[in-house]
C-alpha cells in the first residue's frame, strides 16, 4: 500500500528568476509543502530570493507562481515517464 502511494506521488519543481525577486516571501510562507526557503545569497537589488529546500518536497502545484507579485517564480509538474 505504502509503495503504491509512493508511486502515485506527484513530483514537480520550481523555476526561480532571482533578479526579479523583491523578497516578499509570499511563496515561502504559503507553500503548502514548505518546499521553499529564503536564500542566504543576495540578488542584484539586494533582496534574498527563494530557493528550493529539497526537490522531493515540491509537488509542482504552482501556488508560488500564483502568489508571486513579481512573476519571479513558477512551479510545474514533471511529465509522466513512458513505461
Where does this chain bind other proteins (CB under 8 A)? 11, 13, 15, 20, 22-26, 29-30, 47, 52, 54-56, 63, 65-71, 74, 76, 78-79, 81
Question: From the CB of 2, what's the least distance to other proteins, in Å?
Answer: 20
The Cα-based distances of 19 to 16, 46, 74 in angstroms read: 9, 10, 14
Q: Which is nearer to other proteins, 1 or 82 (CB)?
A: 82
CA distance 5 to 1: 6
Question: From the CB of 54, what's the least distance to other proteins, in Å?
Answer: 8
Amino acid at each position: 500500500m505504502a509503495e503504491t502511494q509512493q508511486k502515485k506521488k506527484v513530483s514537480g519543481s520550481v523555476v526561480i528568476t532571482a533578479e526579479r525577486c523583491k523578497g516578499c516571501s509570499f511563496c515561502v510562507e504559503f507553500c503548502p509543502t514548505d518546499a521553499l526557503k529564503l536564500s542566504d545569497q543576495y540578488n542584484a537589488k539586494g533582496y534574498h530570493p527563494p530557493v528550493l529546500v529539497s526537490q522531493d518536497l515540491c509537488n509542482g502545484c504552482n501556488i508560488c507562481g500564483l502568489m508571486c507579485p513579481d512573476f519571479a517564480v513558477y512551479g510545474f509538474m514533471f511529465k509522466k515517464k513512458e513505461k
